[in-house]
C-alpha cells in the first residue's frame, strides 16, 4: 500500500521547520474558513455517522488491541494521487506507505484499503466500515468535532488546473475573483468537501463540485470548467501522468483570506473513542517525522519534499481550535 494527498510549499528548501511555522502564522485561524488535502465538502459534509453505527463500532472494545490481534487494519482512501489510491487493485501512495510503516511498528502488519468518495470518508469511519482514514485529510475545526486526528503529517499548498495555454491567464483564486467581479464568467470546479471549496466560499465565488481529482481534470479538459482548484501535489502529478489531456497547472500558491495565509496541514483520521489507537499511532509517527531524512525515506518517492514536513511546534490541538497557541 502507499500514501497520497500532499502538496509542496513554496518556501525555500533551506527554511527551518520553526521558521516555516512562523511563515504560516494564521494557519489555524484560517482553518475555520476552510470546508475541508490536497487533495474532497468540509468536515460538516463529511461528518455524522451512517445509521449511527460509529459509536457502536468504537464501543465494542479496544480497537488497538483488536487490530494487533487480527494483524490487519482497513483504511478508507479517496483515490487521490499521490496520497492514497489503488494501483492494479492494491493500495498505493504516500499516506499508504506511511501507514504500512507506522502500523507495522505498532504490531499491525497488514494494511488493506476501501475506496470511497471523499465526502464518505468520515461517515464511513464512524459507521465502522474501516478503522482509519488514509488521505492526507486537512485538520479543520469542523472535522475535529466529528473525528480524531493524528499529529500533523503533511503540509500542502494549492494550484489551479487550467486548459493548456491558460487562456484566461488565471494564477490563483484571487485572479478568479477579480475576473468575476469585473463581469467576466469563470467556471471554477472544486473537490466536494475540499479545502478549496472553503476558500471559494469565503471569496464569494460560485463553484461546481466534483467527486474526485480525475473528474475535475476531465471537467477542465472538456471545457465544462475554466479552472479546477485542488492541492498542488495532486494536480501536478495528475497533469504529469496525463500529458495528452490538454491541461496544465499554475504555480503553487498559498491562498490568502482576509489577510491570513491559508496553509494546510493534514493527518490520519480515527474515531473519537479510539484514544489508545491514536496515542499509539502518534508515538510511531514521531519516528517518521523526526527529521527530513526519515520523512523522505517514506514519502519521497511520491513527490513529497522537506517542505511537506510539518513544523515541530505545530499541533493538532492548535489546528482543531482554529487558532495558533
d(CA 83, CA 107) in angstroms, rounded, equals 23
| Residue-wise DSSP of 215-259 | HHHHHHHTTS-SEEEEEHHHHHHHHHH-TTSSEEEPPPB--EETT
The C-alpha angle with vertex 33 and arms to 265 and 76, in degrees rounded to 5, equals: 45
How high is the pLDDT of residue 301? 94
Residue 271 cell numbers, joined: 474515531
Residues in the chain: 325
How high is the pLDDT of residue 323? 64
160-184 pLDDT tens trace = 999 999 999 999 999 999 999 999 9
d(CA 87, CA 102) in angstroms, rounded, equals 21
| Residue-wise DSSP of 155-220 | EE-EEEEEETT-TT---SHHHHHHHHHTT----EEEETT-HHHHHHHHTT--EEEESSHHHHHHHH
49-98 pLDDT tens trace = 333 444 444 445 599 999 999 999 999 999 989 999 999 999 999 999 99
For residues 24 and 113, the model is more confident at 113
DSSP-derived secondary structure letter, 152:
-
How high is the pLDDT of residue 55? 41
Query: Full-prediction pTM beyond 0.85?
Result: no
Measured in degrees and rounded to the nearest 5, phi and psi for residue 231 equal -60, 140
Amino acid at each position: 500500500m502507499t500514501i497520497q494527498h500532499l502538496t509542496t510549499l513554496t518556501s525555500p528548501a533551506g527554511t527551518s521547520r520553526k521558521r516555516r511555522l512562523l511563515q504560516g502564522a494564521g494557519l489555524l485561524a484560517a482553518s475555520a474558513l476552510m470546508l475541508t488535502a490536497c487533495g474532497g465538502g468540509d468536515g460538516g459534509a463529511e461528518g455524522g455517522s451512517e445509521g449511527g453505527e460509529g459509536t457502536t463500532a468504537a464501543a465494542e472494545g479496544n480497537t488497538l488491541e483488536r487490530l494487533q490481534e487480527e494483524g490487519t487494519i482497513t483504511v478508507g482512501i479517496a483515490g487521490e494521487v499521490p496520497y492514497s489510491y489503488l494501483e492494479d487493485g492494491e493500495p498505493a501512495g504516500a499516506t499508504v506507505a506511511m501507514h504500512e510503516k507506522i502500523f507495522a511498528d505498532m504490531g499491525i502488519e497488514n494494511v488493506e484499503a476501501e475506496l470511497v468518495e471523499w465526502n464518505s470518508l468520515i461517515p464511513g469511519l464512524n459507521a465502522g466500515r474501516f478503522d482509519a482514514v488514509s488521505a492526507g485529510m486537512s485538520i479543520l475545526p469542523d472535522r475535529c468535532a466529528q473525528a480524531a486526528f493524528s499529529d500533523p503529517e503533511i503540509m500542502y499548498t494549492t494550484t489551479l488546473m487550467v486548459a493548456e495555454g491558460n487562456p484566461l491567464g488565471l494564477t490563483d483564486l484571487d485572479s478568479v475573483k477579480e475576473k468575476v467581479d469585473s463581469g467576466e464568467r469563470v467556471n471554477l470546479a472544486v473537490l466536494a468537501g475540499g479545502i478549496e471549496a472553503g476558500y471559494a466560499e469565503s471569496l464569494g465565488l460560485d463553484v461546481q463540485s466534483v467527486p474526485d481529482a480525475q473528474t475535475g481534470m476531465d471537467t477542465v479538459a472538456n471545457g465544462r470548467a475554466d479552472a479546477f482548484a485542488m492541492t498542488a501535489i495532486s494536480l501536478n502529478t495528475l497533469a504529469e501522468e496525463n500529458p495528452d489531456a490538454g491541461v496544465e497547472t499554475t504555480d503553487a500558491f498559498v491562498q490568502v483570506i482576509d489577510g491570513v495565509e491559508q496553509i494546510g496541514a493534514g493527518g490520519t483520521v480515527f474515531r473519537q473513542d479510539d484514544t489508545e489507537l491514536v496515542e499509539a499511532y502518534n508515538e510511531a509517527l514521531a519516528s517518521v517525522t523526526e527529521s527530513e531524512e526519515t520523512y523522505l525515506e517514506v514519502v519521497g518517492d511520491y513527490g513529497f519534499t522537506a517542505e511537506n514536513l510539518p513544523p515541530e511546534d505545530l499541533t493538532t490541538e492548535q489546528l482543531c481550535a482554529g487558532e495558533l497557541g
